Amino acid sequence: GDSVTQTEGQVTVSESKSLIINCTYSATSIAYPNLFWYVRYPGEGLQLLLKVITAGQKGSSRGFEATYNKETTSFHLQKASVQESDSAVYYCALSDFSGGSNAKLTFGKGTKLSVKS
């Protein structure tokens, strides 16, 4: 089946430093899945951060970027300069959408980002 791997369960970064959160995927049901980053801020629900549906394209939101790399099957999340307000849990996910309305997401286990001032 499909799977998503986030190698770091927790990451601590100093404010204004750069960030990269690793995500790799394996999609057996579809050659080019749609890829997503979701974020859960403390005390809040799961929110869509960004999505990319085309291999080779980059998505961006709130200063975060992620590039869909089909060669390395990766979708790493990056930010040039983090702020304390970025502290949250970040989830990488893929969708086995193939044109139907019943596409469902496969999630990674999440990476907790702590930004220290």
Contacting residues toward other proteins, per CB under 8 A: 34, 36, 38, 44-48, 51, 53, 89, 95, 97, 101-107, 109-110
Residue 33 or 79 having the CB closest to other proteins:
33
CB of 54 to other proteins, least distance (A): 13
Residues 6+ apart with CB under 8 A from 45: none
Dist. CA 109–CA 66, nearest whole Å: 18
| Phi, psi (deg, nearest 5) at residue 113 | -100, 125
Residue 11 or 53 having the CB closest to other proteins:
53
What does DSSP assign to residue 85? G
Residue 76 or 97 having the CB closest to other proteins:
97
CB of 80 to other proteins, least distance (A): 25
Residue 11 or 46 having the CB closest to other proteins:
46
CB of 21 to other proteins, least distance (A): 14
Q: Are strands 111-116 and 88-95 parallel, antiparallel or unpaired?
A: antiparallel
Dist. CA 110–CA 30, nearest whole Å: 23
Q: Are 36 and 66 in contact (CB under 8 A)?
A: no
CB of 107 to other proteins, least distance (A): 4
